[in-house]
């Protein structure tokens, strides 16, 4: 733009210079009628001279023969003056300079140099350009500011959607409201679509939960009855053959396992719908653990040791759920380690209450460690000789620990053993 404006400035003066080129030869001719050729040239040059317009004639030997009165040496020594007008800055003044080839008679072709002072115009142009750049700069800043504000405003609802989505629990899916009246239309549409989607997922989640809960409930009762009959049959079946007894024992244990599985499924379904009812109370941890250990040893003679840093540590838990967690973990520890190995429970107190359960069994390879808390996840069956589990035990443990404001993690090394660490807030 600056280049374009400069060109316009040159063009506005170019016309004046062309007029000079046409008029000077005519004026010289008129003066020649009264004066000698040199005097006529002098008179003509002076008549067109002014403080802002300077003219001079230079011979091929660079000798200045005729010139305006105000001509200064700085101007005449400027090089590269061509027939195309160009702007030069001489002693802080802007001059538009060019050379004109003029013939005063048919033979002589003389070179007249013209310098037009355009300082005022150039300064005005410079000021204009400065103002223009300032306006462009400020406009750009205003546009950037307006655009970023608009983008922030437009993205804020999306940020809110993300925050809401992160905090939605399955049981609250249908209650989510993502209405953003201030948001742009597209974002409002997106929020509405997500809301409808969540409603549909919520409904199907409810249906699935209801189905699971109904099926588990309906199956559990008859299976418990079947299991009861099988047990009494086994107790009183003195006249049964060995094969019949074996068959009944297997049937009984499978029925028992299935009842347990249904019990677990119901438990998880309740947790998913936020219906786990906890009766939190403050109890002495050492006493609670001493009560649990014999329960775990009921079906195995495994040695379980307990070491507690402080016998008086209190913990706030739902006692029955806490027992359920420990029986599950101890049951696994017994199941996945050999009979001659020790199981250790250690309790320490730092910022939280830390309870570790360590076994020296088959361990869990790193690749499986993240996944064992998933529902129905069981490690490669070929690795283990244990097929009595359902893969729901640790999923329930984790759900219950989290519900009691705790958390669970593990460290394990194959063939060396596993340590499950539970942390509960200190009371
Ligand atoms: P399962 O009923 O199969 O024991 P869990 O959810 O309790 O289901 O455990 C999931 C899987 O984690 C188990 O199949 C087992 O492979 C592995 N696991 C759990 N506890 C231990 C342990 N103490 N030592 C080795 N592997 C374990």
Q: Which ranges of 237-353 would DSSP assign to H, the alpha helix?
A: 242-272, 285-296, 319-335
Query: Tell me, what's the pLDDT at 107?
Result: 64
Per-residue b/e over 125-141, b at no fewer than 16 CB within 10 Å?
beeeeeeeeeeeeeeee
Cα separations in angstroms, 47 against 14, 24, 339, 355, 419: 19, 10, 126, 111, 110
DSSP helix/strand/coil, 255 = helix
> Do residues 282 and 250 make contact, with C-beta atoms less than 8 angstroms apart?
no
Pocket mutation for ligand 1, best pick of 267, 366, 372, 396 (most atoms within 8 Å of C-beta) = 372
The Cβ of residue 263 has, within 10 Å, a number of other Cβ atoms equal to: 14
Query: Tell me, what's the pLDDT at 386?
Result: 53
Mean pLDDT, consecutive 10-residue stretches, the chain (427 aa), reads 75 79 84 87 89 87 85 86 89 89 71 89 88 94 94 82 78 73 79 86 84 83 90 87 90 87 82 80 95 90 92 93 94 93 95 96 92 84 57 91 95 96 91
Dihedral sign for Cα atoms in the order 200, 201, 202, 205: positive
**Angular region, 92: left φ>0, alpha ψ -120 to 50, beta rest:** left
- Is residue 378 within 6 Å of ligand 1 at its C-beta? yes
The two tokens of residue 370 are 């993240």
Q: Any idea which residue has 């006692």 for tokens? A: 319
- Is residue 364 within 6 Å of ligand 1 at its C-beta? yes
Query: Tell me, what's the pLDDT at 3?
Result: 77
Those residues whose C-beta lies under 8 Å from the C-beta of residue 10, and which sit 6 or more positions away, are: 85, 86, 87, 96
The Cβ of residue 89 has, within 10 Å, a number of other Cβ atoms equal to: 10
Closest ligand 1 atom, CA of 394?
6
- Is residue 379 within 6 Å of ligand 1 at its C-beta? yes
Q: How far apart are CA 120 and CA 96, in angstroms?
A: 12
Dihedral sign for Cα atoms in the order 109, 111, 112, 114: positive
- Residue ID of nearest Cα to ligand 1 atom 2: 389
Query: Tell me, what's the pLDDT at 403?
Result: 92
> Do residues 191 and 220 make contact, with C-beta atoms less than 8 angstroms apart?
no
Q: How far apart are CA 11 and CA 322, in angstroms?
A: 94
> Do residues 48 and 24 make contact, with C-beta atoms less than 8 angstroms apart?
yes
- Is residue 390 within 6 Å of ligand 1 at its C-beta? yes
Residue 272 CA to ligand 1 center (angstroms) comes to 22
> Beta partners for 117?
95
Among candidate residues 348, 343, 309, 301, the one with its CA nearest the CA of residue 326: 343
DSSP helix/strand/coil, 230 = helix
- Is residue 116 within 6 Å of ligand 1 at its C-beta? no
Residue 46 CA to ligand 1 center (angstroms) comes to 112
Residue 270 CA to ligand 1 center (angstroms) comes to 22
Q: How far apart are CA 271 and CA 32, in angstroms?
A: 118
For 343, what's the count of Cα atoms within 13 Å in the CB-facing half-sphere?
A: 26
The two tokens of residue 138 are 């400020």
> Do residues 96 and 85 make contact, with C-beta atoms less than 8 angstroms apart?
yes
Angle at 414 between CA 411 and CA 416, to 5 degrees: 80
């Amino acid at each position: 733009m600056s280049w374009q404006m400069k060109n316009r400035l040159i063009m506005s003066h170019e016309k004046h210079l062309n007029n000079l080129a046409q008029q000077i030869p005519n004026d010289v001719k008129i003066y020649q009628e009264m004066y000698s050729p040199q005097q006529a040239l002098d008179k003509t040059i002076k008549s067109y001279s002014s403080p802002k317009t300077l003219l001079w004639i230079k011979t091929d030997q660079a000798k200045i023969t005729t010139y305006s009165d105000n001509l200064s040496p700085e101007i005449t020594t400027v090089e590269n003056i061509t027939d195309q007008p160009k702007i030069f800055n001489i002693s802080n003044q802007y001059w538009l300079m060019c050379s004109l080839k003029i013939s005063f008679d048919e033979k002589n072709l003389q070179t007249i140099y013209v310098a037009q002072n355009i300082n005022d115009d150039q300064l005005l142009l410079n000021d204009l350009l400065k103002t223009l750049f300032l306006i462009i700069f400020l406009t750009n800043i205003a546009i950037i500011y307006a655009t970023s504000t608009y983008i922030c405003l437009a993205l804020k609802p999306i940020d809110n959607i993300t925050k809401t989505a992160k905090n939605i629990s399955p049981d609250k899916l249908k209650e989510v409201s993502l209405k953003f009246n201030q948001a742009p239309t597209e974002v409002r549409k997106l929020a509405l679509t997500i809301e409808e989607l969540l409603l549909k997922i919520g409904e199907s989640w409810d249906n699935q939960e209801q189905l699971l809960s109904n099926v588990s409930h309906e199956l559990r009762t008859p299976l418990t009855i079947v299991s009861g009959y099988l047990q009494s049959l086994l107790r009183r079946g003195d006249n049964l053959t060995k094969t019949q007894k074996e068959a009944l024992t297997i049937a009984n244990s499978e029925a028992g396992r299935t009842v347990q599985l249904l019990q677990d499924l119901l438990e998880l379904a309740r947790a998913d719908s936020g219906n786990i009812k906890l009766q939190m109370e403050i109890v002495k941890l050492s006493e609670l653990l001493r009560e649990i250990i014999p329960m775990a040893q009921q079906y195995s003679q495994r040695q379980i040791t307990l070491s507690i840093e402080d016998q008086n540590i209190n913990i706030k838990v739902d006692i029955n759920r806490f027992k359920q967690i420990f029986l599950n973990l101890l049951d696994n520890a017994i199941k996945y380690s050999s009979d001659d190995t020790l199981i250790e429970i250690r309790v320490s107190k730092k910022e939280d209450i830390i309870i570790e359960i360590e076994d020296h069994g088959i361990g869990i390879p790193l690749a499986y460690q993240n996944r064992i808390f998933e529902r129905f996840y069981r490690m490669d069956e070929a690795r283990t000789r244990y097929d009595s589990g359902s893969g729901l035990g640790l999923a329930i443990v984790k759900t219950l620990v989290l519900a009691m404001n705790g958390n669970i993690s593990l460290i394990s090394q194959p063939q060396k053993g596993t340590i499950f660490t539970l942390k509960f807030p200190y009371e």
